Chain A
Amino acid sequence: MDVDRLHRRRRRWKERLMTVLIYLSVLVALLPLFSILIYVAIKGIGALNWDFFVRLPGPVGDPHAGMANAIVGTLELLLVAAAVGLPIGILAGIYLAEFGGHGLFSNSVRFLADVLSGVPSIVIGIFAYALMVLPVKHFSGWSGGVALGIMMIPVVTRTTEELIRMVPRSLREAGLALGVPRWRVTVSIVLRTAAGGLTTGAMLALARVAGETAPLLFTAFGNRYWHRSLNEPVAALTLQIYQYAISAFEDWQRQAWGAAFVLIIMVLILNILARLGTRSKFSTQQE
């Protein structure tokens, strides 16, 4: 009797202890998140002013130094990345969903897309360097954009495939029954139905590569001045943060926080927009 009660009490205590530990683990994981967001916000906003957005980087101590070229550079690199990653990813995703089935070819494409998404970003950087920098012997914005685009491809492909597969069969059948050719059914009905989700996927993929630094180190390389074209080394916010963060100058470190704030806002906006998009898509789909 007594042993039994002791045993029961021990089990109850263990239950409580584990519950507390699990709650704690959530707190422990979120602590760094809040710390990062708060530091970036406080130190970042403190470093921002009008000059930051319209002026070029300056020497240490220059009160009017900015990162206009890096902001523009990041946007241009993302544009190139989207131009590379979205068409390839979406069309490949369409193929996998509409014609793919589970044959050898489609399964290898799926497997290799997964492989590609697991490749460390710095290795993608080496690849883009070998492909586009080495032959012309100079760094370029193009190579950086392509490196980011390659990183987008697997994400976009798998998202597209999944979304297209979620389009109800009845919609397709309705189109086919009306005598619409198959490719028109895919383009006008299936893709249009999945459009919201595709936008979400595209934005998440862009958000993911917007913060990448490693693939740009040997491709876009960074630039302290305006680039005249994407055929030259191009500045990017991430590269600038890296360079300034590891510098020995307090002034540059301060600007690194400013750039981090701008970058994180960009990434967060893309993420939140994407999530809002998902929510409305699902709510309409359930009707």
Chain B
Amino acid sequence: MSSSATGIPGQGHHPPAGRTGSGGTGEQPGGPLAAGGLQFSSRPRRGLADALFKAVTGAFASLILVLVLLLVLELVRSSWPSLKAFGWRFLVTQTWDPVRQQFGALPFIFGTVVSSLLALILSVPVSLGIAIYLAEMAPHWLRGPVSFLVELLAAIPSVIYGLWGIFVLVPLVRQLEVFLGTYLGFIPLFSGPPYGIGMLAAGIILAIMITPTIAAVSRDVILAVPNSQREASLALGATRWETIRNVVLEYAQSGIIGAIILGLGRALGETMAVTMVIGNRPEISASLFSFATSLTSVIANEFNESGGALHISALVELGLVLFLVTIVLNSLARFLVWQVQQRNGGAARV
């Protein structure tokens, strides 16, 4: 079963029971019960109560539709002044100046994209290692506890990640930066003064935070690979690693890519921990050591003390950009994961 901690409840919800009577209100569910007996005892009131029940639950279901619609409307409406004033230039210009009422999102987009990619680079190998361990190698009694611990990582509030980031991680990152600067300082990526706070710290903390997502979803995908595939490979004399590499990962590939995209979606939208360690300076620098900022952290920092309507509007537009990007990424990821699980009839290997 997929873990609820990863925030994707229920991929592949295809109940063994099939349709549980998707028909109208008064109908008996199809199948074994179809005809006869029950109709004798049915009174008109029952049909009414059933219809009412369906209507009420249906109304609450449509509330979700309304809510998302309202969310989109509200985001577009609030960001309209900024959309109108800057158009597409908003996404590619660098000036962010509430005093002169000039707003361009590029430094924030840059910060979000770079810190998230950095997080992926750091997190993907480790997450895949965990997924492979849990699905292929761990002794049965260890699977539960290790899964629990990894998922616990997802349960820790992001503000606590931030707190730990400021006081524990950042000093460590500073030492790492001194080290990297000494030996690799000639590469622009590792140049500049080692503050500790900055892009590198943000990338590392994001990597930790998205690891449970990528690991848990990849594990589920790997578990959905049919055993026959493994057995065929092992029977040909492949070692365990060769089987994992050439057969299991190959088969699960698109699902794992889905898991990675899901992790990317989480990284893009993460606010508190990033805000607390990224330095919050809107500049675009080649160095990972320098201060940076992100879409989420500028909203968190400036929304409450904004300078005027256009400033708010520009901040909401940043939110709109974030919203659209995460929708696209999440839909894509879900599709990829669903595809792999579908291929095997939706059943995970137990």
Contacts and interface: CB of A to CB of B under 8 A. Distances in A.
Interface of A: 11-12, 14-15, 18-19, 21-26, 28-30, 32-33, 35-36, 39-40, 87-88, 91-92, 94-103, 105-106, 108-109, 111-123, 126-127, 129-131, 150, 153-155, 157-159, 161-162, 165-166, 168-169, 172-173, 176-177, 179, 181-183, 186, 201, 204, 207-208, 210-214, 217-218, 221, 238, 241-242, 245-246, 253, 256-257, 260, 263-264, 267-268, 271, 275
Nearest to A150: B67
Given A25-B125, A29-B150, A118-B265, 14 more contacts: A21-B129, A25-B129, A26-B146, A29-B211, A39-B168, A95-B58, A102-B19, A109-B65, A115-B68, A115-B327, A122-B271, A177-B33, A179-B38, A214-B300
A123 B128 CA distance: 30
B92 to A, nearest CB: 22
Contacts of A176: 28-29, 33, 38
Interface string B164-180: 10111000000000000
Interface in B154-194: 155-164, 166-168
Interface residue SS majority, chain B = helix
B20 A165 contact: yes
Between B17, B21, B163, B270, the greatest number of chain A beta carbons within 10 A of the residue's beta carbon is seen for: B163
A118 B78 contact: no
A122 B269 contact: yes
30 contacts: A15-B240, A19-B137, A25-B127, A29-B129, A32-B153, A95-B58, A99-B58, A101-B19, A108-B65, A109-B61, A112-B65, A114-B334, A115-B331, A119-B326, A120-B270, A120-B323, A122-B296, A122-B322, A126-B75, A126-B78, A126-B316, A176-B33, A183-B52, A204-B5, A208-B7, A211-B155, A218-B304, A238-B272, A246-B276, A271-B152
Contacts of B303: 126, 129, 217-218
Given A120-B323, A245-B159, A158 B64 contact: no
A15 B132 CA distance: 14
Contacts of A275: 148
Given A36-B164, A39-B164, A158-B10, A245 B60 contact: no
Contacts of A246: 166, 276
A26 B133 contact: yes
B159 A119 contact: no
B46 interface: yes
Contact of B330 (A98, A100, A115, A241): A115
Contacts of A88: 60, 63-64
Nearest to B215: A29
Interface string B130-150: 101100010000000010111
B166 A172 contact: no
B88 interface: no
Nearest to A98: B20
Interface string B49-73: 1101110111011111101101100
Interface residues of B, number: 103
A136 B50 CA distance: 40
B290 to A, nearest CB: 19
Interface string B233-272: 0000001111011000000000000000000010011111
A124 to B, nearest CB: 8
B13 interface: yes
B319 interface: yes
B46 A181 contact: yes
Contacts of B33: 173, 176-177
Contacts of A123: 71, 75, 269, 319, 322-323
A21 to B, nearest CB: 6
Contacts of A264: 156-157, 160
Contacts of A126: 75, 78, 299, 303, 315-316, 319
Contacts of A100: 22, 61
B32 interface: yes
Interface in B10-29: 10, 13, 15, 17, 19-22, 25, 28-29
A117 B21 CA distance: 28
Nearest to A240: B159
